[in-house]
Amino acid sequence: FFSSRRRHTRSLCDWSSDVCSSDLIVGFYLPRGPQDIHRLLALYCSLTAIMLSGTFIDFLGLRPDWPIIGTRTLNMEWLRYSSDYVVNLVAGFYRSPDVMGWHAGATSLLALILATVNQGSRRYRWIAISIFASGALMLCGRRKMFYQLPIFLILLGLIYWQAGRKNQVFSLIMLLIVPALGVWVFGDWIGNNSTVINYYTDNASPAVDQLQGQGWSNVLETVRQAGFWGDGLGVAAPGSQNLAVARPRVWQESGPSRLMVELGVPGFIAMLALIISLLRAAWAQVQQHLKLQDPMGLYGTGLFCFFLANLGSLTASGQILADPFISTFLGLSLGMSLSLARYSQRYSSATYLRDR
């Protein structure tokens, strides 16, 4: 299953990398136009909003006898210890607070994308869903999920500004304060003395230190431990410790250090170059379509910022990629952002044939 330091072979535990790569290709060829992306995002946000209702049921203790609420059925209780209090993390209908927090954050951001491309009553519906999801996000007790919101907002405003649509940045900012409004309303509802509120406010500065420590600083330590060639593909995959096979005793929390221990220095450099090239291509495409005021560009820009926000979170911790749906959705989001190039070619060909 696992390779030695001199011979790298593919492991069954590393299937998520293949899935993410194939989903990127599927996302590239999936949308035929803006309506396809709209239907996909609308379906996901609508279903997830229903699922997130379990978060508030769990938090308020409305149905303690329901086995599908919380993680007690799994004989798990998620706690976060701070200096002088304990935070009870909430999962709702999901199997863990991490998974619930990711879906809450994703719904909040993707509903904002739908709000930017809709008008009238439909826009208010997506704004309401974004506020609702932002409230559920606070209960997950995971800062890495919570900080995706400001990263998304900053990147979206930056891309609009660079695309020359400065007149729309202010109106965009007014719309994008929706998650902040949801956090403020929910925080006022549960009270400023709540352990959840205290957890986010008391631990704001250590989060930056944790990002640096769990991110790139661990890469150097991983090289020191695993060597130049690493320990082989699959050794750091979540769940691989449950296999009855000989394997190195490694545990890499951050995404970069996990890549380093599995791929080694040469593979890490190659993967980093691939990621940078994909991000540069997507950045160029969304800029081009925003300048043309193409509706497809609005979806592509939002999905690209959504992927970048998750990429920042994965720098601190990459364990969430063990969930197949999440890894699939992230691959699709980047693939659909890159599909703007295919959409441009088809649009140009249709315009040429029509003019002839």
Closest CA to 165 of 337, 292, 274: 292
Higher local confidence (pLDDT), 228 or 233: 228
Per-residue model confidence (pLDDT) at position 207:
54
Fill in the amino acid letter for 346: R
Q: Whole-prediction pTM value?
A: 0.84
Output 144 or 76, whichever has higher pLDDT: 76
Q: Answer whether residue 16 shows pLDDT above 50.
A: no
Mean pLDDT, rounded, of the chain: 80
Look at residues 101, 94, 118, 82 and name the one whose alpha carbon lies nearest to residue 199.
82
36 vs 177, higher pLDDT = 36
- DSSP three-state, residue 7: coil
The pLDDT of residue 257 is above 70: yes
From CA 157, how far away is CA 42, in angstroms rounded? 23
As a residue count, the chain comes to 356
Please say whether the beta carbons of 95 and 74 come within 8 A: yes
DSSP state of 87: E
Angle between helices 295-316 and 97-117 (to 10 degrees): 160
C-alpha–C-alpha distance, residues 17 and 331, integer Å: 10
Q: What pLDDT score was predicted for residue 118?
A: 84
Q: How confident is the model at residue 204 (pLDDT cuts 50, 70, 90)?
A: low
Contact 37, 333 (CB under 8 A): no
pLDDT tens digits, one per residue of 127-181: 899 989 988 888 887 777 878 888 888 888 889 888 887 777 777 777 667 777 7
Average of per-residue pLDDT across 245-249: 74
> How confident is the model at residue 206, as a pLDDT?
54
The mean pLDDT of 325-336, rounded to a whole number, is 92
